[in-house]
């Protein structure tokens, strides 16, 4: 096994080793793509550290995927002078590079990576995040301390457990007890702080979360044990206290499980360029986008995104708004037109004058309208916090009744019984049930390429009542479309001419036609070629004038109503109308059966940014009365989601692009569908690999199963509580029984939760 | 019997040393990435193989000179 891996690695290494000298690091031309990295201000923000001579930068490389990537990236110093050291963090897909400023610049480092196929994704927003150490660190420390104290207290309590009453020297007993007191101090004052804080916050907001009974339990355990030791009544329950915190924190660790290399919190800023060329004293210089002022003249090159609402100065622009609206076809803009931020220029560079600051642009404002879901709100809806209120009241009531009973019967045991109930009812097993079940479910989903942002997502999924789909890219194949030619079939010569023309254009529709016509024969040369932005192509081939594109360019009368419903490319040869290429969306495999299975459980709806050309086709997929809404911009999509929510539905939204981002956020559960999970997805609660879309119903069904498992686990832990409380009310809860009951209940609940998820996942075919 | 006091003190002291080591390891970021160190160690081993005068290692050396 190990040999296999080694061998595989070796082979990979050889391959890379052969290949890397072959890549001439300078021959790939990035032109000015990374020129903004020469800007001092941007450098300062990106670099982790610099002393003018040596710099350190942390870059996110989404392409990292295997062990030879690590090998190659860590051997960068051999490939490029000036790179001192590089260190890969595989789980975060980051590389930390140290380089010497005099021999290599940041731009060259990035270009080197890009030429090797590891183009870094650079965004200031995420750069701030990745520098912070993961929040897990404190949790790890707390678990470590809890384990240390718990273990030692257990050892020191052993003589008590075995009841060495006779030969057990009083002197030692006192010594051991006091050691336990000291060992419990870090547990109470360091490990438990989160629970105290959370309980305090909960009470301040007038609601009882699960941390309230936990905090009560911790305080009672500590105070009662301390009293017992100080007044020499007994050994106290320090072992239970240690175990409690150790198990609770482990549960927290499981709950915090997530996918580090995936980002669920991207907003529009991650999509925007870092810098843009601005005219300064007649020269174009890259400046950070945030520094743009109203009135600045900027240049946007082919495939660049317009960072701020601006006005086109001269010429014509061809803006692809697919990012914002989902419309696939670029829009033609003329000098003086307003261009909104988020559009991508297709074609030659354009000059713009900034009209609004980046932070006040339309897209930015749209985003900021919605502050995003508040974490505490999600918290309150989780099952555990819903029952915690009743649980806490019940426990307090039982302890009060027990106290009242003993006050009447035998007043010396009042405090004993009262505190014993609070101790034994401390909901350790109860709190463990949820995180362990959910993290197991998360693992099962992850194995099938459905990645949840956090464990709370599973509970959210279980409550969903309506599904809203986006069309383009979500339920259709992105970039793939069925093309057909309407009109008399083209003869081979005509096919060659058309193919020769479209090969010269980079317009997405041209590419599709080219793919459709794919021929191996040598293509004829074009005598003349003109691309009319936003309209189409005019060319001379073998003495014929061929026009392709919009109906207006070709000849409107003859085009008639053909193909109006779809994205279409009209074609005329020597002024005669030949017909048109119709591009239809191709729906993902298994969509129909998926919808059939979903419709019994969920209300369905479709909102699309596209026109209603596909309405008829879609009706065949969706049940009859499904609302299909078209021409929805991002804001309208969000409003649609919110309206459904006002009707009392719990909405899950499936979308793929930035145009769905606000709706994904507004929805109770936003799922981003993507063809490549390491690619960039909008902020969401879950990322679904598009190849697994047909299993969506199974994922939802399994979240229901998870809910049932949690409820069963709750039932088990309640049973333990009842046993424990019956000991406690009768005043018989000895430290030994507490010390056995607590870990026993916790471990059995955890085992039950994880095993049943595994077994049920296997039975359901996951 | 007072030896127990000493022994227990020593045992707790040793445990505290390990706890401190754990603190250091967390603080130095060893738990940040649990995948690449495991892979890295394999590369390290392979480098030392290169120095061995095996036929395979020679092949690699020629590759190295190309670099």
CB contact under 8 A, B43 and A137: no
Which conformational region is residue A555 in: left (phi greater than 0), alpha (psi within -120 to 50 degrees), or beta?
left
Is the ipTM, as predicted for this complex, more than 0.85?
A: no
Residue A507 to chain B, least CA–CA distance (Å): 41
Nearest CA in chain B to A74: B40
pLDDT over 50 (residue A725): yes
pLDDT over 90 (residue A146): yes
Strands A54-60 vs A94-100: parallel, antiparallel or unpaired: antiparallel
| Least confidently predicted of A3-17, A238-252, A363-377 | A3-17
Q: Is A152 on the interface with B (CB under 8 A)?
A: yes
Cα distances (angstroms) measured from residue A187 to each of A156, A192, A194, A498: 16, 6, 11, 76
Minimal CA–CA distance to A750: which of A424, A386, A431? A431
**Are A60 and A93 contacting, i.e. CB atoms less than 8 angstroms apart?**
yes
Cα within 13 Å of Cα(A298), Cβ side? 33
For residue A558, the Cα-to-chain-centroid distance in whole angstroms is 50
Top-confidence residue, A417 or A564: A417
A13, A21, A91: residue with CB nearest B67: A21
pLDDT-based confidence at A561, cuts 50/70/90?
very low
The whole-number pLDDT of residue A764 equals 85
Largest CA distance in chain B: 72
- Provide mean pLDDT across the span A541-559: 74
Chain B residues with CB-CB distance to A96 below 8 A: none
The whole-number pLDDT of residue A701 equals 92
Q: Residues A471-504: pLDDT tens digits? A: 877 888 765 566 778 777 888 888 888 888 887 7
Q: Residues B8-37: pLDDT tens digits? A: 899 999 999 999 999 999 988 888 777 778
pLDDT-based confidence at A285, cuts 50/70/90?
confident
pLDDT over 50 (residue A312): yes
The whole-number pLDDT of residue A324 equals 65
- Provide mean pLDDT across the span B36-44: 76
**Are A23 and A116 contacting, i.e. CB atoms less than 8 angstroms apart?**
yes
Q: Domain segments of chain A: what residues?
A: 2-131, 136-259+381-432+711-763, 273-306+308-360, 437-477+587-704, 479-586
Give the CATH class of A437-477+587-704: alpha beta
pLDDT over 50 (residue A266): yes
Q: What is the mean pLDDT of chain A?
A: 80
How many pairs of residues across A and B have Cβ atoms under 8 Å apart?
A: 76
pLDDT-based confidence at A702, cuts 50/70/90?
very high
- State the Cα–Cα distance between residues A8 and A68, nearest whole angstrom: 9
- State the Cα–Cα distance between residues A668 and A464, nearest whole angstrom: 8
The whole-number pLDDT of residue A126 equals 57
Chain A residues with CB-CB distance to B4 below 8 A: 172
C-alpha Rg value of chain A to the nearest Å: 33
| Least confidently predicted of A226-230, A235-239, A546-550, A608-612 | A608-612
The whole-number pLDDT of residue A708 equals 92
Cα within 13 Å of Cα(A343), Cβ side? 28
pLDDT over 60 (residue A3): no
B19, B32, B67: residue with CB nearest A134: B32
Residue A558 CB contacts under 8 Å (≥ 6 apart), including other chains: A572, A577
**Are A597 and A697 contacting, i.e. CB atoms less than 8 angstroms apart?**
yes
CB contact under 8 A, A70 and B34: no
Minimal CA–CA distance to A719: which of A745, A740, A743, A698? A745
**Are A25 and A115 contacting, i.e. CB atoms less than 8 angstroms apart?**
yes
Residue B53 to chain A, least CA–CA distance (Å): 17
Question: What do you get for the CA distance between the two ends of chain A, in Å?
Answer: 25
A79, A91, A169: residue with CB nearest B35: A91
Whether domain A2-131 has CATH 1.20.1740.10: the reply is no
Q: Residues A156-188: pLDDT tens digits? A: 888 877 766 555 677 788 888 899 999 999 999
CB contact under 8 A, A91 and B12: no
The whole-number pLDDT of residue A753 equals 92
- Provide mean pLDDT across the span A392-411: 88
The whole-number pLDDT of residue A574 equals 84
The whole-number pLDDT of residue B54 equals 38
What are A702's strand-pairing partners?
A: none
Q: Is A758 on the interface with B (CB under 8 A)?
A: no
- State the Cα–Cα distance between residues B3 and A517, nearest whole angstrom: 92
Q: Residues A110-121: pLDDT tens digits? A: 888 887 778 787
Top-confidence residue, A434 or A22: A434
Q: Which of A8-17, A194-203, A675-684, B43-52 has the highest mean pLDDT?
A: A194-203
If you write DSSP's letter for every residue of A367-417 in order, what string do you get?
A: HHHS----HHHHHHHSHHHHHHHHHHHHHHHHHHHHHHHHHHH-GGGHHHH
B15, B34, B39: residue with CB nearest A67: B39
The whole-number pLDDT of residue A322 equals 67
Residue A462 CB contacts under 8 Å (≥ 6 apart), including other chains: A703, A704, A706, A707
The whole-number pLDDT of residue A629 equals 87
Interface test with B, best of A11, A60, A91 (most B CBs within 10 A): A91
pLDDT-based confidence at A367, cuts 50/70/90?
low
CB contact under 8 A, A172 and B42: no
Window A:665-684, CB contacts with B under 8 Å: none
The CATH code for residues A479-586 is: 3.40.1110.10
Minimal CA–CA distance to A70: which of A9, A129, A125? A9
The whole-number pLDDT of residue A14 equals 44
- Cβ burial of A22 (10 Å; 0-12, 13-18, 19+) is exposed
Residue B27 to chain A, least CA–CA distance (Å): 7
Residue A591 to chain B, least CA–CA distance (Å): 37
- State the Cα–Cα distance between residues A323 and A340, nearest whole angstrom: 12
- Provide mean pLDDT across the span A733-741: 82
B16, B31, B43: residue with CB nearest A71: B43
pLDDT-based confidence at A6, cuts 50/70/90?
very low
pLDDT over 80 (residue A505): no
The whole-number pLDDT of residue B60 equals 40
- Provide mean pLDDT across the span A455-471: 88
Q: Is A134 on the interface with B (CB under 8 A)?
A: yes
pLDDT over 50 (residue A562): no
Nearest CA in chain A to B44: A71
**Burial A313-328, CB ≥16 within 10 A → b, else e:** eeebbbbbbbbbbbbb
CB contact under 8 A, A169 and B60: no
CB contact under 8 A, B36 and A89: yes
Nearest CA in chain B to A142: B23
CB contact under 8 A, A89 and B32: yes
- Provide mean pLDDT across the span A347-365: 78
Q: Is A74 on the interface with B (CB under 8 A)?
A: yes
**Are A325 and A341 contacting, i.e. CB atoms less than 8 angstroms apart?**
no
Nearest CA in chain A to B45: A6
The whole-number pLDDT of residue A27 equals 43
Chain A residues with CB-CB distance to B5 below 8 A: 175
**Are A561 and A555 contacting, i.e. CB atoms less than 8 angstroms apart?**
no
pLDDT over 90 (residue A712): yes
If you write DSSP's letter for every residue of B21-35 in order, what string do you get?
A: HHHHHHHTTTTT-SS
Top-confidence residue, A610 or A83: A83
CB contact under 8 A, A144 and B42: no
Chain A residues with CB-CB distance to B42 below 8 A: 5-6, 9, 67
CB contact under 8 A, A141 and B26: yes
- Provide mean pLDDT across the span A686-708: 90
The whole-number pLDDT of residue B45 equals 52
- State the Cα–Cα distance between residues A107 and A43, nearest whole angstrom: 9
Chain A residues with CB-CB distance to B8 below 8 A: 156, 175, 179
Percentage of chain A lying above the pLDDT 70 cut = 84
A18, A90, A145: residue with CB nearest B35: A90
Top-confidence residue, A482 or A661: A661
CB contact under 8 A, A137 and B5: no
C-alpha Rg value of chain B to the nearest Å: 23
Strands A83-89 vs A331-334: parallel, antiparallel or unpaired: unpaired
The whole-number pLDDT of residue B62 equals 39
pTM to 2 decimal places:
0.75
Chain A residues with CB-CB distance to B67 below 8 A: 17, 20-21, 78-79
- Provide mean pLDDT across the span A447-476: 86
In a 3-state reduction of DSSP, which class is residue A644? Answer: helix
B18, B27, B36: residue with CB nearest A90: B36
If you ran DSSP here, which 8-state letter would residue A102 be given? T
- Provide mean pLDDT across the span A349-354: 85
Q: Which of A100-109, A367-376, A653-662, A700-709 has the highest mean pLDDT?
A: A700-709
CB contact under 8 A, A152 and B42: no
Residue B46 to chain A, least CA–CA distance (Å): 8
The whole-number pLDDT of residue B21 equals 95
pLDDT over 80 (residue A141): yes
Cα within 13 Å of Cα(A378), Cβ side? 17
B18, B42, B66: residue with CB nearest A21: B66
CA dihedral A62, B33, A452, A131 (to 10 degrees): -70
**Are A718 and A427 contacting, i.e. CB atoms less than 8 angstroms apart?**
no
Which conformational region is residue A117 in: left (phi greater than 0), alpha (psi within -120 to 50 degrees), or beta?
left
In a 3-state reduction of DSSP, which class is residue A455? Answer: coil
Strands A283-288 vs A651-655: parallel, antiparallel or unpaired: unpaired
The whole-number pLDDT of residue A357 equals 79
- State the Cα–Cα distance between residues A485 and A491, nearest whole angstrom: 12
**Are A661 and A683 contacting, i.e. CB atoms less than 8 angstroms apart?**
yes
CA dihedral A472, A476, A477, A480 (to 10 degrees): -80
- State the Cα–Cα distance between residues A10 and A5, nearest whole angstrom: 8
Structure tokens at A334: 């003329």
Q: Residues A15-74: pLDDT tens digits? A: 444 444 434 444 445 666 777 788 777 787 778 888 878 888 888 887 777 777 788 888
CB contact under 8 A, A144 and B63: no
CATH fold of the domain at A273-306+308-360: 2.70.150
CB contact under 8 A, A91 and B33: yes
- Number of Cβ within 10 Å of residue A379's Cβ equals 16
pLDDT over 60 (residue A246): yes
Minimal CA–CA distance to A454: which of A697, A664, A263, A656? A263
Q: Which of A90-99, A382-391, A434-443 has the highest mean pLDDT?
A: A434-443
B22, B31, B40: residue with CB nearest A70: B40
Nearest CA in chain A to B24: A141
Q: Residues A376-398: pLDDT tens digits? A: 445 556 778 778 888 888 988 99
- State the Cα–Cα distance between residues A138 and A249, nearest whole angstrom: 11
Structure tokens at A711: 């409820």
Residue listed under structure tokens 């391959």: A15
Counting DSSP H helices and E strands in chain B, the numbers are 3, 0
A70, A89, A175: residue with CB nearest B5: A175
Q: Is A175 on the interface with B (CB under 8 A)?
A: yes
């Amino acid at each position: 096994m190990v040999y296999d891996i080694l061998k595989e690695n070796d082979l990979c290494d050889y391959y890379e080793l052969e290949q890397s000298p072959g890549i001439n690091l300078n021959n790939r031309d990035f032109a000015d793509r990374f020129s903004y990295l020469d800007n001092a201000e941007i450098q300062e923000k990106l670099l982790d550290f610099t002393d003018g001579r040596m710099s350190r930068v942390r870059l996110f490389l989404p392409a990292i995927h295997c062990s030879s990537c690590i090998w190659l990236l860590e051997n960068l110093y051999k490939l490029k002078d000036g790179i001192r050291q590089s260190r890969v963090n595989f789980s975060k897909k980051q590389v930390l590079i140290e380089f010497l400023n005099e021999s290599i610049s940041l731009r060259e480092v990035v270009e080197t990576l890009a030429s090797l196929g590891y183009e870094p994704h650079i965004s200031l927003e995420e750069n701030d995040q990745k520098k912070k150490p993961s929040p897990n660190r404190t949790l790890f420390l707390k678990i470590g301390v809890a384990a240390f104290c718990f273990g030692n207290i257990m050892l020191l309590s052993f003589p008590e457990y075995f009841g060495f009453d006779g030969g057990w020297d009083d002197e030692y007993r006192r010594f051991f007890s006091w050691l336990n007191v000291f060992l419990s101090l870090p547990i109470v004052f360091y490990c438990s702080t989160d629970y105290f804080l959370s309980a305090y916050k909960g009470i301040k907001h007038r609601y009882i979360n699960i941390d309230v009974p936990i905090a009560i339990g911790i305080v009672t355990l500590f105070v009662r044990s301390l009293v017992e030791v100080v007044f020499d009544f007994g050994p106290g329950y320090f072992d239970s206290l240690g175990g409690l915190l150790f198990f609770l924190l482990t549960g927290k660790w499981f709950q915090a499980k997530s996918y580090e290399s995936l980002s669920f919190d991207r907003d529009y800023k991650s999509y925007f360029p870092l810098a843009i060329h601005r005219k300064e004293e007649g020269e174009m210089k890259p400046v950070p986008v945030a520094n743009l002022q109203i009135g600045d003249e900027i240049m946007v090159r082919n495939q660049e995104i317009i960072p701020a609402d601006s006005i086109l100065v001269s010429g014509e622009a061809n803006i692809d708004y697919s990012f914002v609206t989902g419309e696939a076809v670029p829009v033609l803009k003329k000098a003086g037109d307003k261009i909104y931020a988020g559009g991508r220029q297709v074609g030659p560079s354009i000059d713009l004058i900034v009209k609004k600051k980046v932070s006040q642009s339309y897209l930015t404002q749209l985003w900021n309208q919605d502050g995003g879901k508040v974490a505490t709100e999600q918290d309150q809806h989780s099952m555990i916090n819903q029952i915690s209120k009743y649980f806490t009241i019940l426990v307090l009531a039982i302890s009060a009744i027990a106290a009242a009973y003993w006050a009447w019967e035998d007043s010396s045991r009042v405090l004993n019984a009262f505190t014993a109930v609070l101790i034994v009812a401390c909901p350790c097993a109860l709190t463990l049930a949820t995180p362990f079940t959910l993290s197991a479910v998360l693992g099962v989903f992850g194995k099938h390429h459905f990645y949840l942002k956090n464990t709370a997502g599973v509970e959210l999924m279980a409550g969903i009542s309506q599904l809203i789909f986006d069309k383009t890219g979500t339920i259709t194949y992105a970039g793939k479309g069925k093309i057909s030619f309407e009109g008399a079939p083209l003869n081979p010569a005509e096919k060659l001419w058309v193919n020769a023309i479209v090969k010269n254009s980079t317009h997405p529709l041209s590419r599709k036609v080219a793919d459709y016509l794919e021929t191996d024969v040598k293509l004829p040369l074009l005598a003349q070629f003109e691309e009319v932005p936003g309209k189409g192509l005019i060319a001379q081939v073998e003495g014929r004038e061929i026009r392709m594109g919009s109906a207006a360019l070709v000849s409107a009368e003859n085009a008639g109503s053909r193909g109006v419903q779809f994205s279409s490319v009209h074609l005329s040869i020597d002024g005669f109308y030949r017909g048109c290429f119709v591009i239809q969306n191709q729906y993902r495999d298994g969509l129909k059966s998926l919808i059939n299975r979903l419709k019994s459980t969920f209300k369905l709806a479709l909102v699309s940014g596209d026109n209603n050309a596909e309405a008829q086709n879609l009706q065949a997929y969706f049940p009859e009365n499904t609302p299909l809404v078209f021409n929805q911009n991002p804001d309208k999509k969000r409003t649609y989601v919110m309206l459904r929510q006002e009707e009392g539905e719990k909405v899950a939204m499936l979308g793929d692009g930035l145009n769905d981002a606000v709706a994904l956020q507004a929805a109770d559960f936003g799922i981003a569908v993507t063809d490549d999970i390491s690619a960039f997805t909008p902020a969401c609660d879950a990322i679904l690999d598009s190849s697994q879309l047909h299993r969506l119903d199974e994922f939802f069904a399994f979240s229901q199963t998870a809910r049932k498992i949690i409820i069963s686990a709750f039932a088990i832990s309640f049973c333990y509580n009842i046993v424990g409380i019956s000991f406690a009310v009768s005043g018989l809860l000895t430290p030994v029984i507490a010390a056995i009951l607590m870990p026993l209940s916790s471990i059995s609940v955890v085992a039950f939760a994880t095993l049943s998820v595994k077994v049920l996942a296997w039975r359901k075919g996951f | 019997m007072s030896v127990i006091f000493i022994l227990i003190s020593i045992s707790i002291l040793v445990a505290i040393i390990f706890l401190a080591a754990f603190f250091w390891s967390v603080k130095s970021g060893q738990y940040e990435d649990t995948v690449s160190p495991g892979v890295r160690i394999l590369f390290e081993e392979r480098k030392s193989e290169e120095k061995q005068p095996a036929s395979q290692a020679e092949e690699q050396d020629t590759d190295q000179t190309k670099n």
